[in-house]
Structure 1
């Protein structure tokens, strides 16, 4: 049954713009980090699977998440009149979980699609936060960050947020360091332009043995789609009622990132480490099984691209 909804009011002073939007010169650094599958599934069960059915649910795949730092030079809506309002710079720091859509028929289960789930995401400006949360369902939070200004001079990546280190009646909201990524070996990054076509296979090999029941070609398609031609994102969108007890809206959304142009791609040389702090507001060890302290990250890469973030469509409830 189709739910009839009232037209959305873009009243004066409402900062929500219409998708899609064009991202120009997005400089992305990526790292794959080991996670705990049971903890990831618990997180998925408390988000995406809230609206699961007897015929369809979602499960995490593999033992790695992707951590990205992305500096986007220019973002603007492609839909008039919002396309005439102006543009903004945005920086995103995201932890992506590979997620499978599982369809059931009796005792049979089939994986019918693979997605990237931006399960943790923080940004550097409030306009990006409001539009991302309100329209697409990105669970965005404001942050301060550090990342390299150039791929030729790799410096530290780090994230700090206004939050609570400990949940205590005496705790005051203040800036807390959450995690950083550092390079262990001071070697020059090597440009390996020929690996772009094989990137999905490189990452699929990292996942090898962790994707039981998933066709390898489907996994390669998911991983290659991160850089060409489309990255399928899945999102959990919800809004609470005035008491914070009930959800007035709750849905699983799908929004593709359509890659328009690849300017540059490199695999980064050297060894990198993720350093994670415990914050009660953002307990990433509890959420995803990332290690407190330090852990190695794998297949570090850099890509500069233009892409369109397309509108979000509802998968569930149908």
Structure 2
């Protein structure tokens, strides 16, 4: 592990900006998908649990991941002089795992782990990886332009569809989310205050062995007032044999304002393709082919992404 006492060099041409950053008009669509506990736990063991020592470990919480598509209208650093550099639009597509922090066999805290995240611009890619430790990729995507005109979602990435010496890096579609029935504005219903309870009830279909009020706190954090993110940050040496830095980080998203919230009336289906570069079946236990999605929702909000601190 390297020392944190050496000042970071913000040299000319380096695109790294200092947090926190403010997100204006983040339009998020969310869908809960069933996963497999054993596969998701293996992924957590190979990332988060590598970065902690002693009596702390992390475990998957429940058999549902959250898939989000978020179009953020405007992002800018809030820290001088970077707040004078300008702003950017960003879209991110994330698979979130709910994670419990266990100390001495007792659950002490709950987090959301953005275990797989794709973005649409290079600044978001570089800053996310370098500063926070987000495991980000660049992508192409399709998503609705407006919540009142719902349509399909898709995610494509430059990658290898199968590993072989002859495979060439190309753009492939990883998954789509299709709308099964078209809803109308008056078919939507707003129940922001019940969001945590609605999702907690979904999770409670499986035995979690956790206090329901604590679970509601985690699940409500997506809309009010704070979402606690946990990240695995590492940098390799020149041979990729050793890590010159490796730790588990915590970065809260502070919700500043909710402009709009709706559960979505239509039903949606996830269609997952097989790509060797991104084996979501192996990583999380998502189903190859089609599987139902649960509790689709939409929220428009402003939030601040705070600096990451080591756990």
Q: Aligned match of 1:192 in 189, 194, 200? A: 189
How far did residue 5 of structure 1 move?
2.1
Identify the residue that residue 171 of structure 1 maps to in structure 2: 167
Corresponding position of 1:81:
81
Please name the residue that 2:30 is paired with: 30
Question: SS state of the match for residue 200, structure 1?
Answer: helix
Q: Kindly provide the CA deviation profile for residues 228-267 of structure 1, in whole angstroms up to 9, marking residues without a partner as x.
A: 0000000000000000100000000000000000000011
1:144 aligns with 2:131: no
TM superposition shift of 1:52: 2.8
CA shift, 1:186, in A, is 1.9
Displacement of 1:210 in angstroms is 2.9
What is the TM-score normalised by the length of structure 1?
0.96
Give the distance between the partners of 2:143 and 2:224, measured in 1 at CA. 24
Structure 2 residue ranges without an equivalent (≥5): none
2:214 matches 1:218: yes
**1:248 maps to which residue?**
244
Q: SS state of the match for residue 128, structure 1?
A: helix
Unaligned runs of 5+ in 1: none
CA offset digits 1:201-224 (Å, max 9, x no partner): 000000004353211100000000
Per the TM alignment, residue 187 of structure 1 is displaced from its structure 2 partner at its CA by 2.4
Q: Provide the secondary structure at the position in 1 that maps to 2:171.
A: strand
1:53 aligns with: 53
The equivalent residue for 1:119 is: 115
Deviates more, 1:225-234 or 1:209-218: 209-218
Pick from 282, 287, 296 the counterpart of residue 300 of structure 1. 296
User: Once the two structures are superposed, what CA deviation does each residue of 1:37-79 show, in whole Å capped at 9, x if it has no partner?
Assistant: 0000000000000023231000001000000000000000000
The one of 157, 178, 192 aligned to 1:182: 178
Question: 256, 261, 266: which one pairs with 2:257?
Answer: 261
> 2:199 aligned with 1:203, yes or no?
yes
| Alignment partners' CA distance in 2, 1:237 and 1:51 | 8
On the 8 A contact 1:61/1:210 being kept in 2, the answer is no
Structure 1 counterpart of 2:124: 128
Q: For residue 155 of structure 1, what is the aligned residue in structure 2? A: 151
Q: Is the 8 A contact 2:52 2:247 kept in 1?
A: no
Paired position in structure 1 for 2:287 = 291
TM-score (norm 2): 0.98
Cα RMSD over matched residues?
Answer: 1.3
Matched, 1:279 2:275: yes
